[in-house]
Structure 1
Amino acid sequence: MDSTAPLQPPVRHALDLVGITDLVHGFYADVRADALLGPVFDAALQDRWEPHLARMVDFWSTVALGSRRYRRNVLAQHGALEGVTPAHFAAWVGLWQQHTERRFAPEVAHSLQQAAHGVARALFRKCFGHLPAFDMPAGGH
C-alpha cells in the first residue's frame, strides 16, 4: 500500500453485517494493494478473491456477531502459505488495526483487534513454532 496516499475519513459503522462487510472488503482491498501482503495473497487466492471475501465476511460475522455463518477450521485453511514471513503477520495486524479504528467506535475496534491478534498468533505459531513478537492490543480505549 502506498503510505503517501491519504486515508479516507473515518466512517463509524454499527457492529452489524453491513459494517463487517465494509470492513472486510476495505481491508482486503488494501491487502491486495500492499507491496508486502498483496503478492502472498494473490499467489494463494489467484482468481478466487470473491469467494474468499464472502468467507471472510462469514468468518468475521461469526466472530463479532455470533452468526455461526463460518464453519471451517481457520488453522487448517492456512496450511502451507508460500513465502510467508513474520513481517507479513505484523503488516496484516497493523493494517487490520487501521481499518477497525477507522470504521468502528474504539471499544468495538479493540474487540475486533483482539480477535484478529488471536487468529494471527495461532497461525504464526503454526507456521513458525513459536509466538510472534507483536503484542496483543492493550485494554480497551
Structure 2
Amino acid sequence: MTEPLPPRPVPQSTVDLSRLTDLVHGFYADVRRDALLGPVFDAALHGRWEAHLERMVDFWSTVALGSQRYRANVLQRHGSLEGVTPAHFAAWVGLWQRHTEQRFTPEVAQPLQQAAHGVARALFKRCFGHAPPFDAEREDSD
C-alpha cells in the first residue's frame, strides 16, 4: 500500500519573514540532497550550513522585505567557487523557481525569481565571462 502524498502548500499571496525562512530552509534542504548542487555547497560550506541558512534568510529578507539585514557583497562572498559549471547555475535557478512557485502566488514568486536570476547572472558572468544561457531562455519565455 502506498502512502498518500502530503498536501501541497497553498500558494501564499504575501511574503513575511516566517514564509521566507521556510522558503530558504526548504530550498537549501533540496540543494543539499541534489546530486549536482549538494557536493559543491558541501565543499564550500565545510559543514557551516546553519550559518549559511541564517545569512540566506537575511539576504532574502533584505531583497523581499527591505529589512537591510544582509550587508555583505554577494559577488565577493562567492569569489572562490570551485568546480562550478554552467549546469550548476541552471540547476540552482530551476530549483529556486520550483520552490517559489510552490509556495507563493505568481505576484510574489516572480520578483523572488527575478532577484535570483540577477544574482545568478552576475555570478555566472564573473565565473565565465559571458551571460548565462538560462538568461536567453528566460527572455524567450517573457
Which deviations, in whole Å up to 9, do the C-alpha atoms of 1:67-102 show, x marking residues without a partner?
A: 000000000000111100000000000000000000
Q: What CA distance in whole angstroms lies between the structure 2 residues aligned with 1:112 and 1:128?
A: 24
Look up the match of 2:114.
114
User: SS at 1:134's partner residue?
Assistant: helix
1:61 maps to 61
Q: Give the C-alpha shift of residue 120 in structure 1.
A: 0.2
Distance 1:83 1:29, change over 3 A: same
Q: How far 1:107 sits from its partner (Å)?
A: 1.1
Q: Which amino acid aligns with 1:106?
A: P
With normalisation by structure 2, the TM-score equals 0.89
Which structure is larger by alpha-carbon Rg, 1 or 2? 2
**Matched residue, 1:9:** 8
Aligned-partner Cα distance in 2 for 1:129–1:91: 19
The superposition leaves residues 24-69 of structure 1 with CA deviations (integer Å, 9 ceiling, x where unpaired) of 0000000000000000000000110000000000000000000000
Task: Give the distance between the partners of 1:75 and 1:8, measured in 2 at CA.
Answer: 38
1:29–1:107 distance in 2 versus 1, CA, 3 Å: same
Give how far 1:7 is off.
8.3
Number of the residue aligned with 1:3: none
- The residue identity in structure 1 corresponding to 2:128 is F
SS at match of 2:133: coil
- 1:115 alignment partner, SS class: helix
Q: Aligned Cα RMSD in Å? A: 1.6
TM-score of the aligned structures, taking structure 1 as reference length: 0.90
SS in 1 for 2:94: helix
Extract unaligned runs of 5+ from structure 1. 1-5
Equivalenced residue count is 134
Give the C-alpha shift of residue 10 in structure 1. Answer: 3.0
> 1:128 is matched by which residue type in structure 2?
F
CA distance in 1, matches of 2:46, 2:8: 31
